Amino acid sequence: MPPHDTAAGPVPAATVTRAMGEAETTAIRFESVSRHFGPVIALDRVSFEIRDGEFFSMLGPSGSGKTTSLRLIAGFDFPSAGRITLHGKDVAGVPPFDRDVNTVFQDYALFPHMSVWENVAYGLMVRRMPRRQRREEAARMLAMVKLEGLAERRPGQLSGGQRQRVALARALVNRPSVLLLDEPLGALDLKLREQMQEELKALQRQVGITFIYVTHDQGEALAMSDRVAVFNDGRIEQIGSPRAIYDQPRTAFVAGFVGASNLFEAATAEPLIGEARAFSVRPERIRLLRPGERAGERAVEAEGTVRSVTFLGTHLRAVVALARGGEVRVAIAAEQKVEPGTACRIAFDRSAINVLSDAPLGGPAVGEAGR
């Protein structure tokens, strides 16, 4: 993984080497790419790189620009400004069928009148591969996605998860250098979605090609990706490893969109850390102090009242209304006894503080450390 993240702007060229000793190469590069639909700016001067062979996720809410970016890579749309390269070659004007990429859609887009193996082998038929060879290649891909024995079925005879595997096999059988996945698990139930997340990541490692995954589900992005780009309002707020995005969000938007987070404004009388105007703290890093418990000399402490308690299985989520205004969410052990309306104290170590580059709107103020 890279030693640092990048916010919006070009990602520095990779300098690390693979285990085989081969230097990393760039699969996709966006250079100040914009896409306008009349007065609507879907992408606004976006620049980033995707490395060859990585699992890269584009994460963000609806309308943030992630799907537009995917469509530009696929060739289904073209930028209003800027440049996109695929393995170093400018793809301006190159139609989708001439790009070394394939796409898996949320709705699968399978041919209902064809058998499973015919769906998988369709691209090979277009390339005029002999029928016997097509069937062998389709069987190999169906085995890879764990669908042996289902080659003669029609898509309507399959479950949602099986249809998704067929779509994956069809996209991979042509051996593209880049696979684009447009929210492919969105139609599946939670348990199957989690299972497919594991299978997708294992499949990506097995085939070794670049996966570019679009999702609005932060759990999916964190679970599968080598790196994540967080989109918001046509721009990239931050790019980094899942751990860096979660532990060190750079903006209030990233802190709030990727997992739960508390956004704070430093007390005006004595800022908590240097000149920082705002910072975030994850709920699991905040302690709800028991009566008589000391917070510690280096801890940040505040008084409040428990407003609500929610049981979440593995833990409780307590919402605490602070005496100085605002409220925070605290993750506490499921066995800890907490009742709404109880006066309390919260505390967190300074190591839990993550400085933000922008100030949150209406975040609570927290008093001086140790008080």
> Which pLDDT score is estimated for 30?
97
> Which pLDDT score is estimated for 294?
86
With the C-alpha atoms ordered 273, 274, 277, 279, is the resulting torsion angle positive or negative?
negative
Secondary structure string (H, E, C) spanning 120-151: HCHHHHHCCCCHHHHHHHHHHHHHHCCCCCCC
pLDDT in tens, 51-87: 999 999 999 999 999 999 999 999 999 999 999 999 9
**Length of the chain in residues, anyone?**
371
Partners of residue 306 on adjacent β-strands = 320
> Which pLDDT score is estimated for 358?
67
User: Could you give the CA distance from residue 101 to residue 98 in angstroms, rounded to a whole number?
Assistant: 9
pLDDT in tens, 301-346: 889 999 999 999 999 999 999 998 889 999 999 888 899 999 999 9
Structural domains of the chain in order of their starting residue, each with its CATH number: 26-248 (3.40.50.300), 260-366 (2.40.50.140)
pLDDT at 235 over 90: yes
* CA R_g for the chain: 24
Q: Answer whether 315's CB lies under 8 Å from 333's CB.
A: yes
pLDDT in tens, 11-58: 333 322 333 333 459 999 999 999 999 999 999 999 999 999 999 999
pLDDT in tens, 150-176: 999 999 999 888 898 899 999 999 899
Partners of residue 331 on adjacent β-strands = 317
Instruction: Using a cut of 0.75, tell me whether the model's pTM lies above it.
Output: yes
pLDDT at 145 over 80: yes
Q: Where are the beta strands (DSSP E) in the chain?
A: 26-37, 40-51, 55-59, 81-86, 89-90, 101-105, 178-182, 210-215, 227-232, 235-240, 262-266, 278-281, 287-289, 299-311, 315-322, 327-333, 343-349, 354-355, 365-366
Question: Which letter does DSSP use for residue 24 in this model?
Answer: P
Q: Answer whether 39's CB lies under 8 Å from 12's CB.
A: no
Three-state DSSP class for residue 317: strand
> Which pLDDT score is estimated for 337?
87
pLDDT at 271 over 60: no
pLDDT at 115 over 50: yes
> Which pLDDT score is estimated for 27?
96
Three-state DSSP class for residue 212: strand
> What CA–CA distances, in Å, run from 164 to 106, 124, 152, 196?
8, 19, 16, 9
Pick from 300, 279, 287: nearest CA to 354: 279
